[in-house]
């Protein structure tokens, strides 16, 4: 006790020092915990930035903002789509109804009328058709009822097949060998393979791409006319591929005499152009409706 009295100030100093050491230790511990938490957050942010930088395309950096640039480009694309809609007018389905769904009775009647009309148009344009040709709807011609849920798609396809047929008829081709479409109904399983494509339509954020294939025989001016009409059509036709080969000896060109033009010196130049067989893969582009 006497020692404590003699060394009172020393004892107080020791107690104060111990208190300060404890406070410093607590501060260090709290700071360490805070630093660890901050470091963990920093690692998380760094990981997110690293992952984002690996994205193709990456969001950019402090000098290049790819996200803003992408948003601007998307806006420009949307504006272009709105301006280009007049070149992608949808083809009217057959039958075209304003009230209520398509019924089997309505579609069956429209199908027979459309096929009969196309045969008349082919005859008026002197376009030869395969015997008893049904324009890819052979499986449906003798049906009175159709698979549930298929009539809407069939109506759309009938309208598109009619439009494609009338394009090639208007070009005055020699013969239509066939049109092929994608299967859109369980009833299509009973049709001939020559009516169908193995491909399927493709749906994107911007449009639906529906493939068709048309095969016909013609001379080069008529082929050029077909391409011209498809290119200028307001219905969004895109010719994806075209294959041309000699048609060979057929009944359609047997009676066609060669064209004759006067030559120099009174000689006659005979132009005997070869009939060609053309296979075109066509896509009907249907823009996705936007609000």
The pLDDT of residue 89: 86
Q: Residue ranges of the alpha helices (H) in 8-59?
A: 8-53
For residue 80, being part of any structural domain is answered with no
Q: How far apart are the first and last CA of the chain?
A: 92
Phi, psi (rounded to 5 degrees) for 149: 80, 0
Tens digits of residue pLDDT in 24-54: 555 455 555 555 665 566 566 556 656 655 6
pLDDT average, residue stretch 94-121: 91
The pLDDT of residue 269: 46
For residue 78, being part of any structural domain is answered with no
CA distances from residue 9 to 18, 22, 23 in whole angstroms, order as listed? 14, 20, 21
pLDDT average, residue stretch 64-87: 73
Q: What's the domain range around 219?
A: 86-185+193-249+274-287
Say if residue 68's pLDDT is above 60. Answer: yes
For residue 143, being part of any structural domain is answered with yes
Q: Domain tally for the chain? A: 1
For residue 74, being part of any structural domain is answered with no
The pLDDT of residue 218: 95
Beta bridge partners of 104: none
Question: What's the whole-number average pLDDT of the chain?
Answer: 79
Q: How far apart are CA 37 and CA 39, in angstroms?
A: 5
The angle that helices 151-170 and 220-232 make with each other, rounded to 10 degrees, is: 130
For residue 47, being part of any structural domain is answered with no
The pLDDT of residue 256: 40
Nearest Cα neighbor of 214 from 203, 204, 229 is 229
For residue 8, being part of any structural domain is answered with no
For residue 173, being part of any structural domain is answered with yes
Nearest Cα neighbor of 141 from 188, 186, 210 is 188
pLDDT band at residue 222 using 50, 70 and 90 as cut-offs: very high
CATH of the domain at 110: 3.30.70.60
For residue 7, being part of any structural domain is answered with no
């Amino acid at each position: 006790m006497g020692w404590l009295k003699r060394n009172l100030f020393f004892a107080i100093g020791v107690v104060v020092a111990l208190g300060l050491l404890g406070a410093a230790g607590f501060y260090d511990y709290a700071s360490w915990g805070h630093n660890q938490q901050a470091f963990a957050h920093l690692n998380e942010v760094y990981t997110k930035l690293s992952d984002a930088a690996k994205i193709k395309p990456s969001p950019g950096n402090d000098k290049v903002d790819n996200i803003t640039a992408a948003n601007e480009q998307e806006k420009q694309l949307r504006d272009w789509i709105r301006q280009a809609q007049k070149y992608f007018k949808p083809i009217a389905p057959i039958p075209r109804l304003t009230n209520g769904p398509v019924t089997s009775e309505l579609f069956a009647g429209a199908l027979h009328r459309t096929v009969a009309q196309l045969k008349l148009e082919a005859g008026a344009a002197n376009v030869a058709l395969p015997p008893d040709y049904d324009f890819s709807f052979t499986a449906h011609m003798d049906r009175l009822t159709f698979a549930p849920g298929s009539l809407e798609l069939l109506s759309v396809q009938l309208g598109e097949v009619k439009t494609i047929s009338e394009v090639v008829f208007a070009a005055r081709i020699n013969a239509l060998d066939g049109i092929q479409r994608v299967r859109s109904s369980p009833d299509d399983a009973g049709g001939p393979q020559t009516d169908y494509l193995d491909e399927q339509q493709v749906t994107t954020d911007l449009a639906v791409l529906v493939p068709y294939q048309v095969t016909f025989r013609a001379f080069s001016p008529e082929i050029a006319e077909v391409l011209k009409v498809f290119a200028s059509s307001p219905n969004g036709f895109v010719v994806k591929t075209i294959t041309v080969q000699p048609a060979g000896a057929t009944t359609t060109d047997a009676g066609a005499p060669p064209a004759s033009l006067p030559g120099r010196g009174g000689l006659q130049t005979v132009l005997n152009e070869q009939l060609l067989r053309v296979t075109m893969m066509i896509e009907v582009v249907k823009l996705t409706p936007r609000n």
